Structure 1
Amino acid sequence: MKLAVSLFGLFFYTQVVDSQLVGYVGKSITFPSGADPSWILKKIEWAIYSNNTWIATHRGVTTKTDRFHRYGSRLRLNTLTGDLTIHELSLNDAMEYSVDLTNDRGENRVRKIKLEVKYPLEKPNITQYQWFTGQSCVIVLRCQSSVQDAELFWNTTSLSGETGTVKRPDGLFLFIYTAQMSNEFICTSRREKDDASSVFQAICDGKSAATTVTPKNSPAPPIKPPCPRERLGLYFFGGFILGVFFMALLFKFFKVTGQLQSPGKCLKGTRCSS
């Protein structure tokens, strides 16, 4: 009977199914086992490395998720579906994982999943440029993400209470509204399944201004180098200051020299020849 069950399980052996997942440092990720929903799982073995080092197992009624020290208490195994969850991901968790499943009829399935771990997105920076025209405000909002391939979305609520979403690859957003009003704008930076948002409260107070909102724990936006015209202006201004300084020194020098050489005049503290 045992031999028949073994041959039955071998006949229904399913080929390896490879897939790839992306996780983010500090967050959780769940590996789908790929088990048929109708299966009653009797054996679940999650492993890493080429020698199939077990990290989480379920056999009969016994479940263990602390088989390997590097994961500590970060693993959760769903004994009904066979799915494995890793909490508080680190860069060291990036590797290939495999699961070996067996149901109550001896059917077997093996699945390999490659995990890539990235740093999560940081909140984007929002810069506001505002001009007051006398009756209304014209504002240009610019959203910048620290990741180049991230998509940028703007969300805002209109005066009627309707919410709209605008996708802008350049991160720019133009808005005109009347004085003594405020509007809330949300910029979302999105990459694959990861996203981060910053909120900006634009207030039209009758003044022209430029404001930058830099979220906490986020790097400051890169400093834009001055254009050639700006550099020429700086050079001219610096040269002018240096010229005035040297002219003052020369004037003082010639004044003192003139006093020493002027006939009929004696400097205080010196002897004059008759």
Structure 2
Amino acid sequence: MKLLILVLQVALVGSLTVSSGFLGDNITLASGAPPSWNLTSIEWSIFSNNTWIATYRGKRKNTERVDRYKGRLSLNIISGDLTIRNLTPEDAMEYTVDLINTQRENKGGKTKLIVKQRLPKPTIETFPCESVKGGGFQLFLLCSSTDKSVDLSWSKTTNATVFNSLNADVASTAVKVFLSTKQNHVKFTCTSSKNSETASSDVTPSCDDNEPEPTPQHHSTHRKNYIAITFFVGLLVGVLVMTVLYFQKGETNNILAG
């Protein structure tokens, strides 16, 4: 007798389906009712004690049964589908639906809801421009993600810029950019991918026209100044050392003479 009741319960509940949604989004759980059915009773419940969260009986609909779901549920009395708005982590659980049509036929089902967090957008860091011998400029871009298990890739809007990319570590990737002129603005996109989800960030690097360009003459002047300062400091230190030694020697001679 117990075995027969168990078999009937399994037949009524049916197979378990799986649905997934993102935090803050809406999701609709399908009841599985045949399109030809004219539903007279719909009961959506949670937990093992069948806590009702949305019901339709005697042509009366109630979606305000449980505080945590108040204002977030919509029940379609034609299809029996249940919509949950503004998903939260606590919504991730199994939902049970029980249906009855005008012919007194019963049907049930279970849906396991998985609530996921959206993939965070990657962060792009731009490093200062450097002039290149023969003309043009180069700079580095670094793309990183807080999610350590994503794949990062680069793309650009035009082939006017030549670049090579390399992976700095498992959660970041760098790209070397060459710009023929300071006005050569090219948009670069870094995309992070995980399973079937993607997220991307854009940047349009350029060199600042107000930034003085380093030239061989500037480098030569800086080098000469550095050498002169180094020589002067060394000379000053040498004079101070010789002066200290001279006075120490004089004091020693006075002591011996006394």
TM-score interval (norm. to shorter): 0.5 to 0.7
Q: 1:143 to 1:104 in 2, by over 3 A?
A: farther
CA deviation after TM superposition for structure 1 residue 52, in Å = 0.7
Per the normalisation by structure 1, the TM-score is: 0.59
* Partner in structure 2 of residue 201 of structure 1: 204
Structure 2: gaps of 5 or more residues:
1-7, 161-166, 212-240
Map 1:26-37; keep pairs closer than 5 Å. Answer: 26-37=24-35
* Partner in structure 1 of residue 64 of structure 2: 66
* Partner in structure 2 of residue 143 of structure 1: 143
Q: List per-residue Cα deviations over 1:42-83 (Å, max 9, x = no partner).
A: 222111000110011122432111111112211122223322
Q: 1:191 & 1:97 partners in 2: Cα distance?
A: 28
Q: List per-residue Cα deviations over 1:188-240 (Å, max 9, x = no partner).
A: 33445654332212225688xxxxxxxxxxxxxxxxxxxxxxxxxxxxxxxxx
Contact 1:124 1:146 in 2 (8 A): yes
SS in 2 for 1:113: strand
Q: 1:182 to 1:23 in 2, by over 3 A?
A: same
What residue identity is the alignment partner of 1:258? Q
2:187 to 176, 181, 184: 184
Task: Tell whether 2:103 aligns with 1:100.
Answer: no
Contact 1:97 1:114 in 2 (8 A): yes
What residue identity is the alignment partner of 2:143? C
Per the normalisation by structure 2, the TM-score is: 0.62
CA deviation after TM superposition for structure 1 residue 255, in Å = 6.2
Contact 1:181 1:205 in 2 (8 A): no
Task: Tell whether 2:16 aligns with 1:18.
Answer: yes
Map 1:116-135; keep pairs closer than 5 Å. Answer: 116-128=114-126, 132-133=131-132, 134-135=134-135
Contact 1:157 1:185 in 2 (8 A): yes
Q: 1:16 & 1:176 partners in 2: Cα distance?
A: 61
Q: 1:262 to 1:139 in 2, by over 3 A?
A: closer
Q: 1:72 & 1:137 partners in 2: Cα distance?
A: 59
Q: 1:113 to 1:155 in 2, by over 3 A?
A: farther
Aligned-pair RMSD on alpha carbons? 4.0
Task: Return the structure number with greater helix share.
Answer: 2
What residue identity is the alignment partner of 1:75? L
CA deviation after TM superposition for structure 1 residue 100, in Å = 1.5
Of all paired residues, the percent bearing the same amino acid is: 38
Which segment is superposed worse, 90-99 or 121-130? Answer: 121-130
CA deviation after TM superposition for structure 1 residue 264, in Å = 3.1
* Partner in structure 2 of residue 262 of structure 1: 252
Give the total of aligned pairs: 208
Q: List per-residue Cα deviations over 1:109-159 (Å, max 9, x = no partner).
A: 222122233433222112346665344455654432222333445454237
